[in-house]
Amino acid sequence: MAEQLRLLAVHAHPDDESSKGAAAMARYVSEGVDVLVATCTGGERGDVLNPKLQGDPEIAANLPAIRRREMDRAREILGVRQTWLGFVDSGLPEGDPLPPLPDGCFALQDVAVAAEPLVRVMREFRPHVVTTYDEEGGYPHPDHIMCHKVTVAAFEAAADPGAYPEAGEPWQPLKLYYNQTFSRPRTTALHEALLAAGMPSPYAEWLERWADRADRAITTHVDCAAWFDVRDRALLAHATQVDPDGSWFACPLDMQQKAWPTEDFELARSLVPVALPEDDLFAGIRSELGEPAA
């Protein structure tokens, strides 16, 4: 019997797993892949972004517990497993000059120390594929950038018997990917689809803001349009973080499925032979394990 495929998605906060790669995860779950989300922080310093819930004193007083409950619901919707790495949200510093980050927060941890819990997760779960953010964090949130650093460090250390010897038996993940959900090509496709349908688009401002931003090398397009509704339900489960009437849902589902039916990734490391572009995060791994192609 072929070995069960395993995917580890490392994210900074509860809700990130539902906005970045969620439909791809749901597709893989439906195919029998064991998917685990590792959440670095509890999102303790996140703002309440849903206008309908802003100003609620009960939410303000209990936001960390509420965000954990939201994560539980999103996990159930996606069909994944989930674990907390136990770090404290750094918040998103704003202003000029930027204020210092709060003492003890995730982004101020020593990378070598902060990688240990993730190495432990990798050695216990034994993923074949790991996903996280690129070196820019997808956007420059200090926790996203730290998530990148910690994941890369853990990916490199997990197979080294001399690294973190108390963290379990060594395990070598075979591929590391960066989420590239918010690419210029995808955003342009959704923007143009809305305009062609005579509908207002919230994406013109995004594209203008990205005018000087270099495009990342997207290597892997996972067709998962049939699971976009699962992604949206998981995202809406994070009710404090998502405005159901906001730009996340400006483009109708059927329009998204036609205009851009994939979720996209950048292959950063591979220990198996690859042929780019890919349409499967497990390309090259399935044949190694005796699995049929996707």
Tens digit of each residue's pLDDT (9 = 90 or more) over 66-86: 999 999 999 999 999 999 999
* pLDDT at residue 176 is higher than 80: yes
Task: Give backbone dihedrals phi and psi of 37, rounded to 5 degrees, phi first.
Answer: -100, 125
Q: What is the pLDDT of residue 79?
A: 98
Kindly tell me if the per-residue pLDDT of 35 is higher than 80.
yes
Dist. CA 158–CA 168, nearest whole Å:
9
Residue at 62 is within a domain: yes
Bigger pLDDT: 13 vs 95 = 13
Q: Of 216, 217, 220, whose CA–CA distance to 276 is shortest? A: 220
Average pLDDT over residues 107-124: 98
Tell me the average pLDDT of the chain: 95
Q: Above pLDDT 70, what percent of the chain? A: 100
Q: Is the dihedral of CA 82, 83, 88, 93 positive or negative?
A: negative
- Neighbour tally for 63: CB within 10 Å: 18
User: Where residue 269 sits, what CATH number does that domain have?
Assistant: 3.40.50.10320
Per-residue pLDDT, averaged over 210-226, amounts to 94
| 257 φψ region: left (φ > 0), alpha (ψ -120 to 50), beta (else) | alpha
Classify residue 201: in a domain, yes or no: no
pLDDT at residue 293, rounded to an integer: 76
pLDDT value at residue 47:
86
- Secondary structure (3-state) at 6: strand
Q: What integer pLDDT is reported at residue 175 of this predicted model?
A: 98
Who has greater pLDDT, 1 or 128?
Answer: 128
Comparison of pLDDT for 290 and 88, the residue scoring more: 88
Per the domain annotation, does 72 fall within a domain?
A: yes
Calculate mean pLDDT across residues 7-14: 98
Q: Look at residue 199 and tell me if it is in a domain.
A: no
If one counts the domains in the chain, the total is 1
CA distance 28 to 33: 5
CB 83 within 8 A of CB 124: no
pLDDT band of 138, cuts 50, 70, 90: confident
C-alpha–C-alpha distance, residues 56 and 44, integer Å:
16
In a domain, 204, yes or no: no
What is the dihedral angle through the alpha carbons of 243, 61, 78, 80, rounded to the nearest 10 degrees? 150
For residue 1, what pLDDT is reported?
A: 57
Residue 196, domain member (yes or no): no
Would the annotation count 16 as a binding residue?
A: yes
Mean pLDDT across 99-116: 97
pLDDT at residue 292, rounded to an integer: 74
Is pLDDT of 239 > 90?
A: yes
pLDDT band at residue 139 using 50, 70 and 90 as cut-offs: confident
144 is in an annotated binding site: yes
Domain membership of residue 27 as a residue range: 6-181+214-246+262-289
255 has a pLDDT exceeding 80 = yes
Find out whether 13 is annotated in a ligand binding site.
yes
In a domain, 21, yes or no: yes
Gap between the Cα atoms of 147 and 111, Å rounded: 9
Would the pLDDT of 256 be above 60? yes
Domain presence at residue 32: yes
The pLDDT, as a whole number, for residue 154 is: 98
